[in-house]
Amino acid sequence: MTAVTDGLDMAAIGLLLRQRHAETTGQVGRLQAQAASMRGSHYAGSGDAADAGTVALEAAEQTMVTMALQEQLVRLQAAIDRLDSGTLGACGRCGEQVPLTRLQVMPWATHCVPCQSIVDRHR
Ligand SMILES: [Zn+2]
C-alpha cells in the first residue's frame, strides 16, 4: 500500500466532486423549473380538490428533494474548497488522513470513520 495522499487519486476525487456538483446543480435547476410550472398550472387550472391535494403533496415532496439536493451541493462545494486549499481528506477531528476508499465513496466526508461515529453520537 502506497501513501494515501496519492496525487492522481486526489485528482480523480476532484473530478468526481466537480462532476457531482454539476449534476446536482442541474437536478436542482430542473426541479425548481418543474415546481414553478406546477405552481403555475395549479393556480391556473380548475382541477378538483383531489387533484389540488395531489399537486400539493407532490410539490411538498419535490421541495424536500430539492432541499436535500441543495444541502448536498453545499457539502460538495465545501469539499471542492477543501480540495483547492489542500485540506481535503484530513479528518476535522483527529487530523488523520481520511482513507481514500472512504473519500471515493463520500468525497465530502469531513471525518474518518471512527471520528464520524463520535461526531454523529454527539449531534
Ligand atoms: Zn478522525
Least confident of 42-51, 61-70, 72-81: 42-51
Q: Separation of 104 CA from ligand 1 center, angstroms?
A: 17
Centroid of ligand 1 to alpha carbon of 110 (angstroms):
9
CB-based contact 109:15 (threshold 8 Å): no
| Residue 56 confidence class, pLDDT cut points 50, 70, 90 | confident
Q: How many Å lie between the centroid of ligand 1 and the Cα of residue 32? A: 37
Q: What is the mean pLDDT of residues 103-118?
A: 92
* CA of 79 relative to ligand 1 center, distance in Å: 16
d(CA 87, CA 79): 9
Instruction: Give the model's confidence band at 2: pLDDT under 50 very low, under 70 low, under 90 confident, else very high.
Output: very low
Neighbours of ion ligand 1 (CB under 5 A): 91, 93-94, 112, 115
Q: What is the mean pLDDT of residues 83-89?
A: 90
Q: How confident is the model at residue 104 (pLDDT cuts 50, 70, 90)?
A: confident
32-47: average pLDDT: 71
What separation in Å is there between the alpha carbon of 84 and the centre of ligand 1?
21
Give the pLDDT band (50/70/90) at residue 38.
Answer: confident
